[in-house]
Structure 1
Amino acid sequence: MGKFNKKNNPIWSYDRVGIWILALAADSWLSPSLLVTTNMAIVEAIGTSLFSVGTFGLTTALNYSLSGMVNWFVVLALVCGGLIGGIFGAKVAKCLSKQRQALNNIFSAVVRIVAIYMIIKNVDALN
C-alpha cells in the first residue's frame, strides 16, 4: 500500500466530502425527528440514531477495506476512541436518564449550539 496524498486519498475527493457532510447532517436531524415522529424516549432516539449511523459507517469501511484504501493506524485510533467514548457516553446517559429533564436540557443545548455555530460560520452566505 502506497502513501496517501490528496490525489489518491479517498478522504479528500469532493464526492466523499459531500457524503460526509450529508451523513453529519442526517445524524443531526435524525434524533430530533425520531423524537417528534415516533414519540420515542430521548435515550432510545439517540441510540437508534447512533446505531443507524454506525451501520452506514461500517458498510462504508468494509467497502474501502476491500478496495485497499485503508490506513490501519487511523482505523485503530478511531476504533479505540469510539470504544472509550461509547463506554463513557453510556455511563453518562445512564446517570442522566434518571433525571429526564437534565438529558433533555443537554440535548436541546447541544442542538442550539450547533445551530448558532452553523449560522456564525455561514453568515456570509446569508448576506
Structure 2
Amino acid sequence: MPLALAAGAVIGLILGLIGAGGSIVAVPLLVYVVGVADAHAAIGTAAVAVSLSALMGLAGHARAGTVKWNCALVFAAAGSLGAWIGARLGKATDPDLLLALFGLLMVAVGLSMLRPRRSAPDPDVRLTRASAASLLPRLLPLGFLAGLFAGFFGIGGGFLIVPALMLATAMPIGFAVGTSLVAVFALGATTALSYALAGHVDWALTALLVAGGGAGAFLGARLGRHLAGAKNRLSRIFAFAVIATGLYVTRSGWPALSGWLSAG
C-alpha cells in the first residue's frame, strides 16, 4: 500500500509541476517499484488512474476557460477509435516485448521534450462550420494517431496530444494543455475499458494510485507556483530522467525485443 500511494504521489507531483509526463512514468513505477508482475495489468491499471486524474484536472481548466471544446471533442472522438485499436494490439503483444517497446517510446519522448517548441499561436482559433474545412483534416488523423499510441502503451498521451493540438490548430500551449485533458480522459477511459474487459485492471491498486496522485498533484501545483521561473529547467531534468528510465526498461526487455527483431 505505501508503495502504491507513493507511486501515485510521484505521478501527481510531476503533473502538478510541469503539466505533463505523469503517465509516461506510471507503467515503470507500477512494474519496478510497486511490483506489478504483468505488464498488461500495469498498463490497464495505469490507464484508469490517468483518465481519472485527467478528469479531475479538467475541472480547473474548464473554470479558467482554457478548453477549446469543439476541437477537444473531435480530437477525442478520433483518438478514442485509435485507442481502442491500439489497446487491442497491445493486449495481443508479448508483455516483455511491450515493455521493451515502451522503453523505446520513453527515450523518444524524452528527446522530444528537449527540443524547443516553435509555434505561431492563434488564441482565437475555433472549430466552426467556417473553419471545419481547414481544421478537421488535421484534427482527425492526428487525434487517431495519438489515440493509437496511447491505447497501445496504456498512457494518457498528453505529451503527444498537446503538440498535436498545437500543430492542428495553432492554439497557444495554455489552451492546448487544457484542451488535451478532454482527450487524455477519453483515450485513457477507452484504453482502461478495453483492459478492464480482459481482466487486466487491479481496482484496489487504482484507488491507491488516484489517492496518492491527488495529494501529489496538490503539492506539485503549489510548488509549481513557487518554481514558475524554473519550469523549463525542471522539464529538462525530467526529460533526462525519462530517457534514463527508458533505456533501463528497454535493457530489461532486450531479450524479447531482440528475438522479435530477429524473427522479423
TM-score by length of 1: 0.62
Work out which of the residue numbers 56, 69, 75 in structure 2 matches 1:72. Answer: 69
Structure-2 separation of matches of 1:19 and 1:101: 27
The answer to whether 1:85 aligns with 2:82 is yes
Structure-1 separation of matches of 2:70 and 2:54: 17
Which structure carries more relative contact order (alpha carbon 8 Å, separation 6+)?
Answer: 2
Q: Which residue is equivalent to 2:24?
A: 28
Structure-2 separation of matches of 1:24 and 1:47: 19
The answer to whether 1:106 aligns with 2:80 is no
Give 5+ residue unaligned stretches, structure 1: 1-17
Structure-2 separation of matches of 1:101 and 1:60: 32
Contact 2:26/2:46 (CA < 8 Å) preserved in 1?
Answer: yes
Q: Which residue is equivalent to 2:92?
A: 95
Work out which of the residue numbers 55, 58, 68 in structure 2 matches 1:58. Answer: 55
CA RMSD of aligned residues (A): 3.0
Secondary structure in 2 matching 1:34: helix
Structure-1 separation of matches of 2:72 and 2:113: 28
Displacement after TM superposition at 1:39 (Å): 1.9
Paired residue type of 1:38: V
Structure-2 separation of matches of 1:19 and 1:89: 24
Secondary structure in 2 matching 1:24: coil
Q: Call closer, same or farther: CA 1:110–1:73 in 2, change over 3 Å.
A: same
Aligned length: 103
Contact 2:40/2:95 (CA < 8 Å) preserved in 1?
Answer: no
Structure-2 separation of matches of 1:45 and 1:95: 15
Secondary structure in 2 matching 1:57: helix
Q: Call closer, same or farther: CA 1:22–1:48 in 2, change over 3 Å.
A: farther
Give 5+ residue unaligned stretches, structure 2: 1-13, 117-232, 237-264
Q: Which residue is equivalent to 1:42?
A: 39
Structure-1 separation of matches of 2:47 and 2:18: 15
Secondary structure in 1 matching 2:21: helix
Structure-1 separation of matches of 2:49 and 2:80: 17
Q: Call closer, same or farther: CA 1:48–1:59 in 2, change over 3 Å.
A: same
Structure-1 separation of matches of 2:55 and 2:89: 25
Identity %: 19
Paired residue type of 2:53: F
Q: Call closer, same or farther: CA 1:103–1:72 in 2, change over 3 Å.
A: same
Q: Call closer, same or farther: CA 1:19–1:39 in 2, change over 3 Å.
A: closer
